[in-house]
């Protein structure tokens, strides 16, 4: 029986920000179609891992490798990783004055031949997604992120997730700073993503509320740049009850 | 009436409050075909006054007195439009093909609505001088587009007086032209009068863009917002002078001006002169400018969506074109489409 390769295979990755080592010998493999949660206290290196997977130039890999769909992408630039099907939702999305959201969405869609659609189909699809995310359509004509509230910025991230349907979506604390209603909308967005394309998720969070509507396959715990525990979804409730003390005292 | 001789127009696009001359930002000159029997720019004003509709005579020209007078005299197209109270009307002007220089007067009567759209496609010199009176409670939209790939020069002059509870919305897209000069002057004379001005520009190759925007607040609780966004590539040069003058008596007025420019080319020269003048106590004036290129954070964000650093600048340019196209009224969009098809 052939053993299928994981969608992404992170092997012994050690990463630095400047001269400071943030991730220490991290290995993590995610199978296609599965949902993983990465938890850990503040400053554990969770977001760094997400950014390293996406080749953020802020970080350098001193050792280790990353393979995506069986292909070594360790030296691949960020934009090629994105086009290959990896998506990173930002904790604090940037503002890009001069680029209206609608133009931006059209451009990132046009860069992916697999998402080819007519202008009319695109318009209809984007408006449907905006409706689904309870997003004010007036935002589509405004410059990307400029003057958006924290909640609206996160909805724009969800809109892109649903539009691009990446093979792997890394959601970096998408729940941070959201009120209960916005959190519900984002949860619905995650649900819709999984249903629409059976995508793979790596949810980085330290808030269990966003996970209430998501069916989680594996939970990973990171402390001080190291993966220190792994388990099934029951680990979430354990951490919810006891926090990370057990790991930080080790 | 025109000859092959040239004349020099002075004090074009002059800033109301000037700075050091050595900065070469205060104002500029421009060479234009001379008009017969008028030997210098200063004399133009004398002869041009008879071309001005009486109601508009005390309204300054946006690009300056000499530039306005030259356009008034050289005009091959004249439009005098009065939009009756409570009605609405579109005014479309296409310059650069059959018509090249236009003198336009639009009176938007109380409660009326106007949509003025000027499209410039000229491969030589084209110009327009638009003057607008926006009466009580009226709304006026003014759109101006200098199309991409235009190889000529264009001189824009726009001025308006906005009365009580009236609103002026301006969208100017300067996307082409080897030399584009754009001067606007707006007086908010009535209480609660408003100006919203959006300037989008793009300079490539050796394009030269020179823009002046002046808004004077006279009425109480008047509001103005000037937002300029642009991208400069290659060896393009740009000057923007934006002035908000909160004059005595405009209690409660608010004015803001903001510019964001991305300088992509190594040979770009970008100059900005943001000025807030204030002669009244109870007012608010803000200005800000962000000048530079994409930040590493912005480039990384765009890259995570599949846009390479080289494509990021193209995204800005494409966005400008798309926005301009989408914003213009249908008739103007159709005209642009036909123009593009003709190549």
Helix (H/G/I), strand (E/B), else coil: A50:
helix
Q: In this complex, do A107 and B315 lie within 8 Å of one another by their Cβ atoms?
A: yes
Looking at the predicted structure, is the pLDDT value of residue B2 above 50? no
Q: Is residue B341 part of a domain?
A: no
Q: Is A192 exposed, middle or buried (0-12, 13-18, 19+ CB in 10 A)?
A: middle
The C-alpha R_g of chain B, in whole angstroms, comes to 20
pLDDT (mean) for B308-325: 87
Looking at the predicted structure, is the pLDDT value of residue A90 above 80? yes
pLDDT for B131 equals 98
pLDDT (mean) for B291-318: 91
pLDDT (mean) for B139-164: 93
Q: How far, CA to CA in Å, does A23 sit from each of A20, A44, A202, B151?
A: 9, 9, 17, 55
State the DSSP string of A89-125.
E-SSPPPEEEEEHHHHHHHHHHT-GGG---HHHHHHH
Q: How far, CA to CA in Å, does B45 sit from each of B41, B53, B62, B184?
A: 8, 14, 14, 18
Q: Is residue B269 part of a domain?
A: yes
Strands A143-144, A96-100: pairing is: antiparallel
Looking at the predicted structure, is the pLDDT value of residue A149 above 90? no
Weakest-pLDDT range from A32-46, B44-58, B247-261: B44-58
| Dihedral of alpha carbons B300, B306, B311, B313, sign | negative
- CATH number at A119 reads 3.40.50.300
Q: Give which of B227, B258, B264, B306 to mutate to test A binding, by max A Cβ within 10 Å.
A: B306
Helix (H/G/I), strand (E/B), else coil: B69:
helix
pLDDT (mean) for B176-197: 95
Q: Is residue B210 part of a domain?
A: yes
Looking at the predicted structure, is the pLDDT value of residue A23 above 50? yes
B262/chain A closest Cα distance in angstroms: 9
Q: Which of residues 287-306 of B touch A (CB under 8 A)?
A: 290, 294-298, 300-306
| Dihedral of alpha carbons A109, A111, A116, A121, sign | positive
CB of A66 closer than 8 Å to CB of A74: yes
Give the pLDDT band (50/70/90) at residue A214: confident
With beta carbons under 8 A apart, name residues in chain B contacting A96: 294, 298, 301-302
Q: Is residue B170 part of a domain?
A: yes
Looking at the predicted structure, is the pLDDT value of residue B3 above 60? no
The answer to whether residue A77 neighbours chain B at the CB level (below 8 Å) is: yes
With beta carbons under 8 A apart, name residues in chain A contacting B308: 77, 79
Q: In this complex, do B315 and A58 lie within 8 Å of one another by their Cβ atoms?
A: no
Q: How far, CA to CA in Å, does B116 sit from each of A74, B81, B91?
A: 55, 10, 5
Q: Is residue B124 part of a domain?
A: yes
Looking at the predicted structure, is the pLDDT value of residue A152 above 80? yes
In chain A, the number of structural domains is 1
Candidate ranges A96-110, B3-17, B77-91; pick with highest mean pLDDT: B77-91
Q: Is residue A157 part of a domain?
A: yes
CB of A176 closer than 8 Å to CB of A153: no
Looking at the predicted structure, is the pLDDT value of residue B149 above 80? no
Strands B139-146, B88-95: pairing is: unpaired
For the segment B11-29, what is each residue's pLDDT rounded down to a tens digit?
999 999 999 889 899 999 9
Helix (H/G/I), strand (E/B), else coil: B206:
coil
Q: Is residue A93 part of a domain?
A: yes
Q: Is B196 exposed, middle or buried (0-12, 13-18, 19+ CB in 10 A)?
A: middle
The end-to-end CA distance of chain A, in Å, is: 40
**Orientation angle between helical segments B296-303 and B309-327, nearest 10 degrees:** 80
What one-character DSSP code corresponds to residue B112? -
Interface contacts (A, B; CB < 8 Å): 80
Q: In this complex, do B306 and A83 lie within 8 Å of one another by their Cβ atoms?
A: yes
The answer to whether residue B315 neighbours chain A at the CB level (below 8 Å) is: yes
- Residue in A closest to B308 by C-alpha: A79
Which single residue is written with the structure tokens 């994105």? A82
Looking at the predicted structure, is the pLDDT value of residue B321 above 90? no
The answer to whether residue B227 neighbours chain A at the CB level (below 8 Å) is: no
Q: Is residue B48 part of a domain?
A: yes
pLDDT for A213 equals 77
State CA B319 to chain mean position distance.
19
Q: Is residue A2 part of a domain?
A: no
Give the pLDDT band (50/70/90) at residue B254: very high
Gap between the Cα atoms of A249 and A95, Å rounded: 40
CB of B262 closer than 8 Å to CB of B299: no
A36/chain B closest Cα distance in angstroms: 20
For the segment A173-210, what is each residue's pLDDT rounded down to a tens digit?
988 878 888 888 888 889 889 888 889 999 998 777 77
Residues paired with B88 in a beta bridge:
B113
CB-CB: which of B298, B308, B323 is closest to A96? B298
Instruction: Give me the domain span that covers residue B28.
Output: 2-293
The answer to whether residue B307 neighbours chain A at the CB level (below 8 Å) is: yes
With beta carbons under 8 A apart, name residues in chain B contacting A102: 322
With beta carbons under 8 A apart, name residues in chain B contacting A160: 305
Q: Is residue A91 part of a domain?
A: yes
pLDDT for B1 equals 45
Q: Is residue A117 part of a domain?
A: yes
Residues paired with A21 in a beta bridge:
A16
Higher pLDDT, B78 or A3: B78
Q: What is the ipTM of this complex?
A: 0.95
A98/chain B closest Cα distance in angstroms: 6
Q: In this complex, do B315 and A104 lie within 8 Å of one another by their Cβ atoms?
A: yes
Q: Is residue A120 part of a domain?
A: yes
Looking at the predicted structure, is the pLDDT value of residue A2 above 60? no
Q: In this complex, do B262 and A98 lie within 8 Å of one another by their Cβ atoms?
A: yes
Q: How far, CA to CA in Å, does A53 sit from each of A74, B13, B20, B65, B173?
A: 9, 52, 52, 60, 40
- Residue in A closest to B316 by C-alpha: A99
Q: Is residue A1 part of a domain?
A: no
Q: Is residue B314 part of a domain?
A: no
B304/chain A closest Cα distance in angstroms: 5
pLDDT for B342 equals 65
In chain B, the number of structural domains is 1
Helix (H/G/I), strand (E/B), else coil: B8:
strand
B302/chain A closest Cα distance in angstroms: 8
Q: Is residue A3 part of a domain?
A: no
Q: Is residue B220 part of a domain?
A: yes
Gap between the Cα atoms of B202 and B177, Å rounded: 10
CB-CB: which of B260, B290, B304 is closest to A78? B304
- Residue A43 sits at the vertex; the CA angle it makes with A203 and A154, to the nearest 5 degrees, is 40
For the segment A218-227, what is each residue's pLDDT rounded down to a tens digit?
999 999 999 9
pTM for this entry = 0.80
Looking at the predicted structure, is the pLDDT value of residue A5 above 80? yes
């Amino acid at each position: 029986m052939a053993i299928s390769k994981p969608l992404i295979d992170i092997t012994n990755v050690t990463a630095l920000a400047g001269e400071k080592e943030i991730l220490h010998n991290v290995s993590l493999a995610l199978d296609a179609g599965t949902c993983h949660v990465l938890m850990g206290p503040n400053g554990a290196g969770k977001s760094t891992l997400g950014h390293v997977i996406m080749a953020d130039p802020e970080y350098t890999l001193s050792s280790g490798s990353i393979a995506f769909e069986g292909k070594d992408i360790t030296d691949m630039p960020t934009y090629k990783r994105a086009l290959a099907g990896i998506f990173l939702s930002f904790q604090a999305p940037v503002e890009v004055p001069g680029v209206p959201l609608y133009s931006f969405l059209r451009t990132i869609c046009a860069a992916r031949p697999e998402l080819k659609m007519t202008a009319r189909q695109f318009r209809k699809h984007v408006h449907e997604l905006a409706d689904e995310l309870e997003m004010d359509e007036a935002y589509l004509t405004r410059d990307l992120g400029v003057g958006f509230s924290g909640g609206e910025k996160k909805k724009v991230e969800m809109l892109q997730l649903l539009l691009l349907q990446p093979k792997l979506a890394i959601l970096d604390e998408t729940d941070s700073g959201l009120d209960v209603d916005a959190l519900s909308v984002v949860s619905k967005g995650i649900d819709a993503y999984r249903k629409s394309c059976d995508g793979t998720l790596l949810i980085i969070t330290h808030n269990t509320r966003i996970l209430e509507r998501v069916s989680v396959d594996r939970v990973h715990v990171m402390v001080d740049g190291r993966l220190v525990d792994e388990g099934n979804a029951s680990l979430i409730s354990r951490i919810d009850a006891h926090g990370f003390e057990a790991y930080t005292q080790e | 009436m025109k000859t092959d001789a040239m004349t020099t127009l002075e004090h074009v696009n002059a800033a109301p409050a000037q700075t050091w001359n050595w900065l070469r930002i205060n104002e500029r000159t421009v060479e234009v075909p001379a008009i017969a029997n008028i030997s210098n720019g200063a004399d133009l004003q004398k002869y041009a006054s008879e071309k001005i509709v009486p109601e508009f005579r005390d309204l300054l020209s946006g690009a300056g007195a000499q530039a306005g007078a030259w356009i008034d005299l050289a005009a091959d197209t004249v439009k005098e439009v009065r939009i009756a109270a409570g009605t609405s009307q579109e005014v479309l002007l296409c310059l650069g093909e059959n018509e090249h220089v236009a003198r336009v007067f639009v009176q938007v009567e109380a409660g009326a609505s106007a949509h003025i759209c000027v499209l410039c496609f000229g491969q030589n010199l084209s110009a327009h001088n638009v003057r607008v009176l926006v009466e009580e409670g009226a709304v006026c939209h003014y759109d101006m587009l200098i199309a991409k790939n235009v190889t000529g020069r264009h001189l824009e002059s726009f001025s308006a007086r906005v009365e009580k509870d009236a609103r002026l919305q301006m969208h100017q897209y300067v996307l082409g032209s080897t030399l584009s000069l754009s001067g606007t002057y707006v007086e908010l004379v009535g209480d609660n009068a408003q100006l919203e001005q959006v300037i989008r520009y793009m300079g490539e190759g050796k394009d030269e863009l020179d823009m002046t925007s002046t808004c004077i607040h006279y009425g109480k609780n008047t509001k103005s917002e000037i937002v300029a966004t642009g991208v400069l590539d290659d060896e393009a040069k740009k000057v923007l002078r934006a002035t908000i003058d909160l004059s005595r008596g405009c209690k409660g007025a608010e004015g803001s001006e903001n510019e964001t420019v991305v300088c992509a080319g190594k040979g770009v020269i970008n100059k900005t002169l943001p000025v807030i003048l204030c002669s009244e106590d109870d007012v608010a004036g803000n200005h800000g400018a962000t000048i530079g290129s994409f930040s590493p954070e912005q480039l990384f964000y765009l890259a995570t969506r599949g846009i390479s650093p080289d494509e990021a600048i193209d995204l800005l340019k494409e966005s400008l074109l798309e926005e301009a196209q989408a914003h213009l009224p249908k008739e103007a969009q159709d005209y642009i489409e036909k123009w593009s098809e003709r190549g």
